[in-house]
Amino acid sequence: MTYFNFIRNQHRTKFANSILEEWLSPREAMHFLQLGQTSIYALMKSKEIERIKFGGKTFISVKSCEELIKRLQAFNGEVSK
C-alpha cells in the first residue's frame, strides 16, 4: 500500500471512499502532486485544477490533477526539444 493510499484510508470510511474516489482533499492533493499548501491553493485560485466546495470542505478533482501533470509533461517535452 502506498503512503498516499494509507493516508486516504486512514481518514475516510468505506462509504466515503466509494463516493469520493474521484475527489481529493487539499492535503491529499498535496501528497498526490508533491506540492505544498500554498501551491495547491494557488492552482485552485487560478483554476488550473478543478475544485468544489461542500459546506466547509473543499475537494479537488483527481482528473484535473492528472491533466495538470500531463500538461506539465507536454510543456517540459516541448522545452527540452
Decide if pLDDT at 21 tops 90. no
Q: Does some domain include residue 64?
A: yes
Q: Does some domain include residue 53?
A: yes
Q: Which domain holds residue 37?
A: 23-80
Q: CA of 58: how far to CAs of 4, 24, 53, 54, 73, in Å?
A: 18, 8, 4, 6, 26
Q: Does some domain include residue 12?
A: no
Share of the chain above pLDDT 90, in %: 56
Sheet holding 57-61, edge to edge: 23-24, 57-61, 51-54
Q: Does some domain include residue 18?
A: no
How far is the C-alpha of 78 from the C-alpha of 25, rounded, in Å? 31
Q: Does some domain include residue 8?
A: no
pLDDT digits (tens, 9 = 90+) for 32-64: 999 999 999 999 999 999 999 988 999 999 999
User: What local confidence, expressed as pLDDT, does residue 77 receive?
Assistant: 79
Domain count, the chain: 1
Whole-model pTM: value is 0.69
Q: Does some domain include residue 36?
A: yes
Q: Does some domain include residue 6?
A: no
How far is the C-alpha of 16 from the C-alpha of 40, rounded, in Å? 22
